[in-house]
Amino acid sequence: MCGIFGYCNFLCEKSRREVCDTLLNGLSRLEYRGYDSAGFAVDGDIEDTLIIKQVGKVAALRKLTDDQPLDFSKPFISHCGMAHTRWATHGQPSQINSHPQRSDDKNEFVVVHNGIITNYKEIKLLLEKKGYVFESDTDTECVAKLTKYVFESHNKELNFTELVKTVVKELEGSYAFIFKSTHFPNEIVATRRGSPLLIGVKTQKKLKVDFVDVESSDNSFATVEGQDMSRPALNRSQSRAFLSEDGLPQPIEYFLASDASAIVEHTKRVLYLEDDDIAHIADGELHIHRVRRSKEDNTAPTRSIQTLEIELAEIMKGSFDHFMQKEIYEQPESVVNTMRGRVNFENHEVTLGGLRGFTHIIRRARRIIFVACGTSYHSCLATRSIFEELNQIGTQAELASDFLDREPPIFRDDVCVFVSQSGETADTILAMRYCLERGALCVGVTNTVGSSISRETHCGVHINAGPEIGVASTKAYTSQYIALVMMAIQLAQDSKSSQKRREEIIDGLYRLPSDIKEVLAIDAKLQQLAVEQLAQEKSLLILGRGYQNATCLEGALKIKEISYIHSEGIFAGELKHGPLALIDETMAVILVMTQDKYYPKVQSALQQVSARSGNPIVICNTGDENLKNHHRTIEVPKTSDCLQGLVNIIPLQLLSYHLAILKGVDVDFPRNLAKSVTVE
């Protein structure tokens, strides 16, 4: 999905080459989010703004930049630039539709934008009536043009913050923006509503305090139609964080981004903007204002400057060919990180700090409702039954999009659990807000500290899997799965009757890293299977039952997502209600048949398939004598029934990876998909 990056240097000389490289490198760090075009804006030579945009990868934009007849050695003591990777929502991927979007052919106001402006047609119509001519199909262009219109209709008297404040008050939808203007050289304004935006700060000297004050201003704002011309009396206090000891301005650099991966190589000191914050960077100072200051505004009076904990090395590929491969192989470690400090393997106890103070409420819930999309939804399906078994609370799993369409009744005694790797998936966020409004306790399970879901839920669990960059989710799935199992165990901790069962599961969690390693060790065999038996298939069915229903859906999603082979996960219990008609000697089938209480039923599914000349590849436990000599098998170690899905998914992740390679797919960036789906 779209990515934003901005860079401001103050009293810290950089050549045009260095500025462009910083912006382009920032975009490269955001590539994993998925995009189809990219662009950036920097200062020109005559108090103008240069915009360079290109369809395709950041590498193509870099080449186009190098081809420009520019003096790349030109120094800038202070400068503000901004950049963007676009994933088309309004209009085709094209140079003209890429960002930055501009107000006019002199580039007076330029804007980069993540999100969607839902009332852009109305604004466009209004501006067209005023004589503005639009060049792109984007919703964003109306924002650039509206900014110019508002500026001019106020006799160019508004300062940059007031101007943006007035503009965004006219917008509906979700957004993160950066604005740059020839009228405000070396200044930048950033604001957000519904889309993440953070600011990294880099100074030589230590900051005086680790927060930035939210500044107050009076409520008399300018309006679009220009009736109120009074300039608000801004109560501009210098942000305490940036005061130098001697009172002299100090060199400083700011990095703005929609996600921390673009910032961490420059600085670890970041602050996250809240919805409706307006950040203004000028003269080396960062000021934060609110779009509206009202009595109901209960956001904190400061924004804290936090220290990022991710290392750049964590988001690099290392010795692997692809991020997805690296992430599959990281699982013996990432599952440990999810459990670290939370599972006591000796006392058989689980303590999730994030649920402290909330477990008694969750235990009293009338229902537990999981809400998620894609892979995250599958982790909910995989763990739903252990929740029900241990806690005897009705537990349902909902796809966020379907949940929103239905608008189901939600009550104060419901507990709603929102599972999302990114914490920024639009459907899941909207479902969360729906449940918050109805008074349910909202719990987040996310991999991204500081994400919208992490911040807006009442409590939750960070899965601590480390950054996941491949679009296909792998290590986040296993970590989400474990986080949910831990949650189920913690809720049942006081129950004597389930103690043995809890101990058995915790022992299984202890063995999990070595179980996963055992499966990774058969990777060469899986690669051979992909090359010799599966790569030519047009369609592939994955069958299983009980705990393994989720494994089938997740395995099929992986395969279709990155190898573009049609694949369907089928609940074996449903076989004779329809899907059996598909089975003949040509249909490729993988059957998940590890040993649990459903084994006899899956055996009968195997017979039904075999009787129709099907010849499935069977994922079974090591040494299963019933299968070994009669079928093609993939052997995996046996673990607790409710954890077996964590082991069984590994061969399917690896198979999907090898199939994608054989098909020549760009594994980490499959076509038409984005890592973080921040629009509905």
* Cβ contact 189:178 at 8 Å: yes
What does 677 interact with, of ligand M6R, ligand UD1, none (CB < 5 to 8 A by kind)?
A: ligand M6R
Q: Which amino acid is at 59?
A: A
Binding mask 423-442 for ligand M6R (x = CB under 6 A): --x--x--------------
Q: Which of 152, 169, 117, 122 is nearest to 138 (CA)?
A: 117
Q: Which of 453, 472, 526, 646 binds ligand UD1 (CB under 6 A)?
A: 453
| Binding status of residue 677 toward ligand M6R by CB under 6 A | yes
| Binding status of residue 459 toward ligand UD1 by CB under 6 A | yes
| Binding status of residue 464 toward ligand M6R by CB under 6 A | no
| Binding status of residue 353 toward ligand UD1 by CB under 6 A | yes
What does 282 interact with, of ligand UD1, ligand M6R, none (CB < 5 to 8 A by kind)?
A: none
From 268-276, 380-388, 389-397, 446-454, give the range in contact with ligand UD1 by CB under 6 A: 446-454
Count CA within 13 A, CB hemisphere, residue 424.
27
Q: Which of 61, 471, 646, 659 binds ligand M6R (CB under 6 A)?
A: 471
Q: Of 2, 142, 380, 435, which residue is the catalytic one? A: 2
| Binding status of residue 374 toward ligand UD1 by CB under 6 A | no
* Peptide bond before residue 100 is cis, with ω within 30 degrees of 0: yes
Length of the chain: 680
From 25-33, 384-392, 441-449, 571-579, give the range in contact with ligand UD1 by CB under 6 A: 441-449
User: Measured between alpha carbons, how far is 187 from 210 in angstroms, rounded to an integer?
Assistant: 23
Residue 365's region, left for phi above 0, alpha for psi from -120 to 50, else beta, is: beta
User: Measured between alpha carbons, how far is 635 from 651 in angstroms, rounded to an integer?
Assistant: 9
Q: Which amino acid is at 505?
A: I
* Cβ contact 180:110 at 8 Å: yes
Q: Which of 8, 271, 461, 516 binds ligand UD1 (CB under 6 A)?
A: 461
From 146-154, 470-478, 493-501, 570-578, give the range in contact with ligand M6R by CB under 6 A: 470-478
Would you state the structure tokens that stand for residue 383, as one six-digit string?
A: 């763990």
Q: What is the dihedral of CA 84, 86, 89, 93, to 10 degrees?
A: 130
From 311-319, 451-459, 581-589, 635-643, give the range in contact with ligand UD1 by CB under 6 A: 451-459
Which C-beta is closer to ligand UD1: that of 430 or that of 652?
Answer: 430
Q: What is the dihedral of CA 318, 319, 321, 324, to 10 degrees?
A: -50
Neighbours of 298 (CB within 10 A): 6
| Binding status of residue 623 toward ligand UD1 by CB under 6 A | no
Which C-beta is closer to ligand UD1: that of 486 or that of 505?
Answer: 486
Binding mask 389-428 for ligand UD1 (x = CB under 6 A): ----------------------------------------
2 is catalytic: yes
Q: Which of 200, 460, 508, 651 binds ligand UD1 (CB under 6 A)?
A: 460
User: Measured between alpha carbons, how far is 518 from 508 in angstroms, rounded to an integer?
Assistant: 14
Which C-beta is closer to ligand UD1: that of 159 or that of 454?
Answer: 454
Q: Which of 632, 491, 473 is nearest to 553 (CA)?
A: 473
Q: Which of 420, 621, 644, 653 binds ligand M6R (CB under 6 A)?
A: 420
User: Measured between alpha carbons, how far is 535 from 550 in angstroms, rounded to an integer?
Assistant: 23
Q: Which of 26, 100, 354, 670 binds ligand UD1 (CB under 6 A)?
A: 354
Tell me, what DSSP letter sits at residue 217? B
Q: Which of 100, 194, 232, 374 binds ligand M6R (CB under 6 A)?
A: 374
Q: Which of 260, 261, 282 is nearest to 271 (CA)?
A: 260
* Cβ contact 412:459 at 8 Å: no
* Cβ contact 63:1 at 8 Å: no
* Cβ contact 339:646 at 8 Å: no
What does 461 interact with, of ligand UD1, ligand M6R, none (CB < 5 to 8 A by kind)?
A: ligand UD1
Q: Which of 186, 395, 422, 563 binds ligand M6R (CB under 6 A)?
A: 422
DSSP state string for 519-567: HHTTHHHHHHHIIIIITT-SEEEEEE-TTHHHHHHHHHHHHHHHH--EE
Residue 194's region, left for phi above 0, alpha for psi from -120 to 50, else beta, is: left
What does 354 interact with, of ligand UD1, ligand M6R, none (CB < 5 to 8 A by kind)?
A: ligand UD1
What does 2 interact with, of ligand UD1, ligand M6R, none (CB < 5 to 8 A by kind)?
A: none
Binding mask 536-565 for ligand M6R (x = CB under 6 A): ---------------------x---x----
Size of the site for ligand UD1 (CB under 6 A): 12
Binding site residues, ligand UD1, CB under 6 A: 353-354, 444, 446, 449, 453-454, 457, 459-462
Active site residues: 2
Binding site residues, ligand M6R, CB under 6 A: 373-376, 420-422, 425, 428, 471-473, 557, 561, 676-677
